């Protein structure tokens, strides 16, 4: 049994305590924070910090105090040194400056942001480009959450996978298949002795349920080994492809390419 | 020579050369071939020099790139592989018989995955100098006077959440870096979690970071919060 000690009565804030948006403005990514919701009982002079981080990169935004919060704007809102492809994450801290100085009074980690690039939606799976993939184009890895890794040696690979109609229908269904299968096969949606449940598991399973025509994922109890999982996942993937008409998209894109090649006299 | 940027084809060719043992002279096309390289968007000159450590090399490259923000040269940018080729004789010198002993490719071609990104000998040094300033130096010096990836650097960046905090690096440096000898103290980086060593510092620092805002604390404030096992390094 894992026992957590919290002598300083540090509060865990819920992940919707603040809304983070990332917007592209020229060369810069601008951070905006809104809808700050803090529980009562926090020290009024407590300082609020929003922290962006990725690997060793780090940037802190001063959001004022509990009694007088302020949002980043202008120069102070620019996300510096974080390059495109970083899986930037955010955390929010309230720090006590009156009692034991520097004590964290409340914290929320791994806050999802919404991105203007993604039409204001919060990405369910972060995408990043990595090296050393050799001839592999993509893979899904699990590091406290699923990440879609793309081969950094391929120019514009991120744009190709997310926007090219002839490519995304080939890759994205299998990404969904890998993630759903692993969540169910390894029970990542439940707390275990080795760690807490994967926090986005309910979102993925809800997605699977939507695509499989409203059928609930097979429960752990009474599950007929892997067969039930594969049947449900296959239904979800089929529904996903149907929703996005991937085959039609792929054929249309191929036709466009064929016409363009014919215009250039290739055929 | 004007700085250039390696293309994906160039990176493939560089990797193939490395995997083949990287013997003999550096293939000229890796430095200036039209298929393997492109001009860098800024017109900047670089020259060969002798370096006694990774920090010196990183500082030199950082000075040259002074006008270029890191966001313009991300870790997967072709400039880092090109620098590795340009300084390859310093990074991986030739043996008397013309052969070389290259290390894993991630030291020369940047792999941005979380467990390897800090092994790039030039790029990560430049990034660290930008992020940590003078505190980066102990991470990149070695008694051997060669450009190497040290155990200290490996163990510090093993705690990637903590490396976002300059005070973590600074605290570790206060404990383990011998400024007079310009090297890490003996016994600081065993492969076990021996009391008072770097790996234990990472564990203890993680505990402190749960309760205190370490990003806003000075190394002196953090040193006061460390348990007895770390005292003998400061005495």
A127: its two tokens: 């995408």
Which among B69, B105, B112 has the least Cβ separation from residue A130? B112
Contact B126, B46 (CB under 8 A): no
Per-residue pLDDT, A1: 47
Compute the average pLDDT of residues A216-229: 79
d(CA A25, CA A3): 45
Model confidence pLDDT, tens digit, residues B163-191? 888 889 999 999 999 999 999 999 998 88
d(CA A132, CA B15): 10
Model confidence pLDDT, tens digit, residues A85-100? 666 888 999 999 876 7
Return the residue of B nearest to A131 by Cα: B111
Per-residue pLDDT, A193: 54
CB contact under 8 A, A51 and B212: no
CB contact under 8 A, B164 and A152: no
Chain A nearest CA to B196, separation (Å): 23
Judged against a pLDDT cut of 80, whether residue A4 lies above it is answered with no
Q: How many residues does chain B have?
A: 235
Q: Which residue has the higher pLDDT, A264 or B141?
A: B141
Judged against a pLDDT cut of 90, whether residue B125 lies above it is answered with yes
Per-residue pLDDT, A11: 81
Judged against a pLDDT cut of 50, whether residue A267 lies above it is answered with no
Per-residue pLDDT, B56: 96
B120: its two tokens: 């790039």
Does B129 contact A at CB distance below 8 Å? no
Model confidence pLDDT, tens digit, residues B201-235? 988 998 898 899 998 889 999 999 999 999 888 86
Per-residue pLDDT, A123: 66
ipTM for this prediction: 0.77
- Contacts of range A189-192, beta carbons closer than 8 Å, 24 or more positions apart: A190/A220
Contact A42, A66 (CB under 8 A): yes
d(CA B189, CA B233): 13
Q: Please give the angle made by the CA atoms of B167, B172 and B176, to the nearest 5 degrees.
A: 155
d(CA A220, CA A185): 9
State how beta strands A146-151 and A127-130 pair.
parallel
d(CA B132, CA B162): 13
To the nearest whole number, what is the mean pLDDT of chain A? 81
Judged against a pLDDT cut of 70, whether residue A117 lies above it is answered with no
Tell me which DSSP letter residue B45 carries. Answer: B
CA dihedral B198, B122, A130, B9 (to 10 degrees): -160
């Amino acid at each position: 049994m894992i026992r957590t000690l919290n002598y300083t009565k540090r509060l865990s804030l819920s992940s919707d305590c603040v809304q983070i948006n990332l917007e592209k403005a020229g060369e810069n990514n601008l951070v905006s924070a809104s809808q700050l919701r803090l529980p009562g009982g926090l020290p009024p002079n407590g300082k609020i910090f929003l922290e962006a981080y990725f690997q060793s990169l780090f940037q802190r935004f001063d959001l004022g105090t509990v009694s007088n919060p302020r949002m980043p704007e202008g120069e102070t809102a620019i996300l510096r040194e974080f390059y495109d492809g970083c899986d930037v994450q955010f955390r929010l801290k309230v720090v006590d400056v009156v009692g034991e100085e520097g004590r964290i009074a409340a914290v929320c980690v791994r806050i999802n942001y919404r991105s203007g690039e993604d039409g204001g939606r919060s990405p369910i799976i972060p995408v990043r480009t990595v090296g050393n993939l050799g001839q592999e184009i993509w893979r899904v890895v699990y590091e406290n959450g699923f990440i879609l890794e793309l081969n950094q040696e391929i120019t514009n690979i991120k744009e190709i996978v997310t926007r090219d109609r002839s490519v995304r229908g080939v890759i994205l269904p299998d990404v969904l298949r890998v993630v759903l299968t692993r969540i169910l096969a390894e029970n990542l949606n439940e707390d275990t002795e080795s760690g807490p449940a994967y926090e986005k598991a309910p979102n993925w399973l809800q997605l699977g349920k939507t695509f499989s025509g409203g059928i609930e994922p097979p429960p752990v109890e009474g599950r007929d080994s892997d067969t039930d999982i594969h049947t449900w996942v296959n239904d979800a993937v089929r529904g996903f492809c149907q929703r996005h008409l991937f085959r039609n998209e792929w054929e249309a894109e191929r036709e466009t390419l064929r016409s363009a090649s014919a215009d250039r006299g290739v055929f | 020579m004007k700085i250039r940027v390696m293309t994906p084809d160039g990176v493939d060719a560089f990797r193939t050369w490395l995997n083949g043992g990287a013997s003999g002279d550096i293939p000229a096309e890796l430095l200036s071939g039209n298929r393997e390289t492109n001009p860098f968007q800024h017109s900047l000159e670089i020259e060969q020099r002798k370096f006694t450590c990774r920090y010196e090399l990183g500082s030199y490259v950082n000075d040259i790139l002074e006008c270029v923000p890191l966001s313009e040269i991300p870790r997967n940018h072709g400039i880092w592989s090109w620098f590795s080729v340009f300084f390859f004789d310093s990074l991986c010198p030739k043996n008397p018989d013309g052969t070389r002993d290259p290390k894993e490719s991630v030291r020369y071609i940047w792999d941005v995955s979380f467990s390897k990104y800090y092994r790039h000998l030039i790029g990560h040094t430049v990034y660290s100098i930008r992020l940590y300033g003078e505190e980066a130096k102990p991470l990149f010096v070695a008694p051997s006077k060669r450009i190497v990836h040290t155990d200290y650097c490996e163990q510090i960046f093993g705690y990637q959440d903590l490396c976002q905090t300059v005070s973590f690096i600074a605290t570790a440096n206060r404990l383990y870096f011998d400024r007079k000898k310009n090297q890490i103290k003996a016994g600081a980086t065993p492969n076990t979690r021996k009391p008072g060593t770097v790996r234990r510092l990472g564990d203890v620092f993680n505990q402190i970071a749960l309760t205190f805002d370490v990003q806003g604390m000075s190394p002196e404030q953090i040193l006061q919060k460390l348990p007895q096992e770390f005292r003998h390094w400061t005495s």
